[in-house]
A = this chain, B = another copy of it.
Amino acid sequence: MVNSTQYTSAALKAELNSKGWRMTPQRETILKVFQELPAGNHLNAEELHARLETSSGISLSTVYRTLKLMARMGILRELELAEGHKHYELNQPYPHHHHHLVCVKCYRTIEFKSNPILTIGSKAATERGFKLLDCQLTIHAVCPECQRSIVPL
């Protein structure tokens, strides 16, 4: 378990309460799933729901509501890597913060880090008075394998 200490459920509760929202077992469980997710993994709503269903019976509605809430709070990052559905991962601070290189054909995804980008992104936001939540470079490209294949689309 690599990332489990980043963001405690107490911190989540505090942040929720400061805005008049509430901590619930569902939200705590969902946070935990993301914290225990191995680096480089992402989940969409359906996948998260599948993991939760067995143990806790959290509904799909709540999954969607929680993902949106946490993304807007800056706790989760919304990734648009593959077709059709958003994926989510923990929004981690500096040493773990990373970007994505995605093959538009096979959707293979590679993570990479870059401090300069983080710096440029923060500056772009703050100098316009925006409060930064997330800063992600997404590179769309064709991977070496797919460059060779003549497969269409």
Contacts and interface: CB of A to CB of B under 8 A. Distances in A.
Interface of A: 19-21, 68-69, 71-72, 74, 78, 80, 86, 99, 101, 103-105, 110, 112, 114, 116-117, 120-121, 124-125, 128-144, 147, 150, 152-153
B125 A116 contact: no
Given A72-B153, A136-B138, A153-B72, A144 B129 contact: yes
Main secondary structure on chain A at its contact with chain B?
mixed
Given A101-B125, A116-B116, A130-B142, 7 more contacts: A78-B80, A117-B117, A117-B137, A129-B144, A131-B147, A133-B140, A136-B137
A101 B114 contact: no
- Per assembly, the copies of the chain total 2
Question: Nearest 8 CB-CB pairs, A to B?
Answer: A130-B141, A129-B144, A80-B80, A134-B140, A131-B142, A133-B140, A125-B141, A137-B137
Max chain B C-beta neighbours (<10 A), residue from A20, A72, A136, A141: A141
